[in-house]
Chains A and B, each alone.
Chain A
Amino acid sequence: MPVIEIAGRQISVNEEGFLTNFDEWDVDVATELAKQIEIPMTEERWKIINFLRDDFKVQGETATSRRVQTVGGVPVKEQFALFPKKPAKKMAYIAGLPKPKGCV
């Protein structure tokens, strides 16, 4: 697994650049990851990222777009507006989590 420098720290990532260690993430890392994919972090976006982090702690897997809607309370359409084109992937990337499943 590659190790890269983000926000002045050594961070483990997979081939696609997703963080592989839940505990290596923090707000600075997230802000930097968001910048890389040209997403300015706002309060609405932080709300989703924090939901994903908290949900992962309990569920042990990344919430799908559907779950962000039903449990997190943000409609899929709004997720598309906040994280254009590939919201599920972009949200997981910034939250330092694996891509959500559903890809089998």
Chain B
Amino acid sequence: MKKKLVVLGGGTAGTMVVNRLHKKLNNEEWSITIVDQNNRHLYQPGLLLLPFGGYTADEIVKERDDFFPSEVRYIQAEIDQVDPGANQVHLRNAETLDYDQLVIATGTTPRPDQTSGMDDPAIWRKSVFDFYTLEGSIALKRALDKFEGGRLVVHISEMPIKCPVAPLEFTFLADAYFSQRKMREKVEITYVTPLEGAFTKPVCSRQLGWMLTQRDIKLEPDFVIEHIDSERKVMVSMDEREIPFDLLVTVPVNMGADYIARSGLGDDLNYVPVSKETFLSKKYPNIFALGDASDIPASKAGSVAHFAIDLFADNFIEHVNGRVMTHNFDGHTNCFIESGNGKGLLIDFNYKVEPLTGMFPLPVVGPFSLLKESRINHLGKLAFRWIYWNLLLKGRWIPISALMSMAGKNQVPQRKEVEANASH
């Protein structure tokens, strides 16, 4: 009898996993099944540009099963529960799947229901919007087109979130968008975050914080939301600060899928605790979690999933053959950051090294510059959509190493110099 690999979730991570492992595993020995609740694959970076007219919905949605190898069985169904003791997955359509190895790749989802008042029908998608769902992004486009001025607030509810730089990008793009409509002076933009600054990593936070100041965008740090007063259109923090808004673009609390909680596999946000080097569950020796579904301390982003799966595929072969996994992930993340007006930044970092300035992927010649605005970085982001649909999902080779390289990066000055600079 063939051994069974079951992959839960057919998004960026799940699709890459079945394509990679289909090539690496012996098809006489292994059968591969992938499960997802719908057949709609979203190019998620597109959700950021759609509200500003950058993409239309049909440019960023394709059918999931177009990207699965024909030998892989695809089941469209909701997942009810995993029974790790019995090595079984129960589906809502009453089907039960046995597995020898299980990969959880059901990602993370915005949950407006987790903040009191946020999903009140009086305001939800009327004056309060999310943009990391297709419906939210489309509704937000309509609201922006109609917006005639007032208080625009861009807000993060709680970390971690999918693509931590996206709310900043949204803010930069909104600034450029209203400037182009010649009404920037009618819009007061505020960026509200539970973090201490614009971003978390020091060098990057300074650069991005400066970019907010340059654009006359107010920063409200350390703001942990308690509730939204839907009548007064005010956000209230745990320490009773209030921020009024006319248009609120929020990133709701992000959580892993509910079946993970029902199966006893998740932490308090339904993320699966795994080894940050190999993605193997800390509890079960035949369950892995990849992409946004895991609890690894890296950005929840497609680039992380991509680099992670480059290494995971080789690890998986070692693991199922009873060998020690030798391809340790270093937390490599690579993100284009849109900054508006046809420009962008690029950041490249890992668990240990924060985003630095420099050139990428080659020293001096780049062509991309790190942590600095340039036109070519923006073109890189646009080109990426083609790469995503045509190379990345199908597991084809892309000329960027899975592990981070220090080539081209400017090292942070010694601590004393940093302090001397900070005191000026």
User: What residues make up the interface of A, taking CB atoms closer than 8 Å to B?
Assistant: 15, 64-67, 70-71, 76-77, 79-80, 84-86, 89, 101-104
Contact = CB atoms under 8 A, between A and B. Distances in A.
B222 A86 contact: yes
A85 B268 contact: no
A39 B99 CA distance: 53
A16 B195 CA distance: 16
A55 to B, nearest CB: 12
B239 A80 contact: yes
A82 B415 CA distance: 33
Contacts of B200: 103-104
Interface magnitude class on chain B: 10 to 19
23 contacts: A15-B415, A65-B224, A66-B269, A70-B268, A71-B268, A76-B238, A77-B226, A79-B238, A80-B224, A80-B238, A84-B239, A85-B239, A86-B196, A86-B222, A89-B196, A101-B297, A102-B159, A102-B160, A103-B159, A103-B195, A104-B159, A104-B160, A104-B200
A104 B222 contact: no
A13 to B, nearest CB: 13
A77 B238 contact: yes
B198 interface: no
B118 interface: no
Nearest to A78: B238
Nearest to A75: B238
Interface of B: 158-160, 164, 195-196, 200, 222, 224, 226, 238-239, 268-269, 297-299, 415
Contacts of B299: 104
Nearest to B224: A76
Give the interface centre of B160, B239, B297 by most chain A CB atoms within 10 Å. B239
A57 B159 CA distance: 23
B353 to A, nearest CB: 13
B269 A104 contact: no
A84 B200 CA distance: 20
B297 A104 contact: yes
B86 to A, nearest CB: 27
Nearest to A86: B222
Contacts of A89: 196
Contacts of A85: 222, 239
Give the interface centre of A67, A85, A103, A104 by most chain B CB atoms within 10 Å. A104
A104 B298 CA distance: 6
Contacts of A67: 268
A103 B196 CA distance: 10
B225 to A, nearest CB: 10
Contacts of B297: 101, 104
Nearest to B349: A104
A86 B193 CA distance: 12
A86 B268 CA distance: 21
A85 B269 CA distance: 23
A39 to B, nearest CB: 15
B21 to A, nearest CB: 27
B296 to A, nearest CB: 9
B315 to A, nearest CB: 22
B164 to A, nearest CB: 7
A15 B298 CA distance: 22
Nearest to B194: A102
Contact of B158 (A15, A66, A84, A101): A66
Given A67-B268, A71-B268, 18 more contacts: A15-B415, A64-B268, A65-B224, A66-B269, A76-B226, A77-B226, A80-B224, A80-B238, A84-B239, A85-B239, A89-B196, A101-B297, A102-B158, A102-B159, A104-B159, A104-B160, A104-B164, A104-B298
Contacts of A71: 268
Nearest to B269: A66
Contacts of A80: 224, 238-239
| A-B CB proximity, top 7 nearest | A103-B200, A102-B159, A80-B238, A80-B239, A101-B297, A70-B268, A77-B238
Contacts of B298: 104
Contacts of A79: 238
A9 B222 CA distance: 33
Contacts of A15: 415
A74 to B, nearest CB: 12
A15 B419 CA distance: 11
B209 to A, nearest CB: 15
A79 B222 CA distance: 14
Contacts of A66: 158, 268-269
A102 B222 CA distance: 13
A62 to B, nearest CB: 11
Nearest to B221: A86
Contacts of A102: 158-160
A79 B224 CA distance: 11
Nearest to B268: A70
Nearest to B415: A15
A31 B299 CA distance: 35
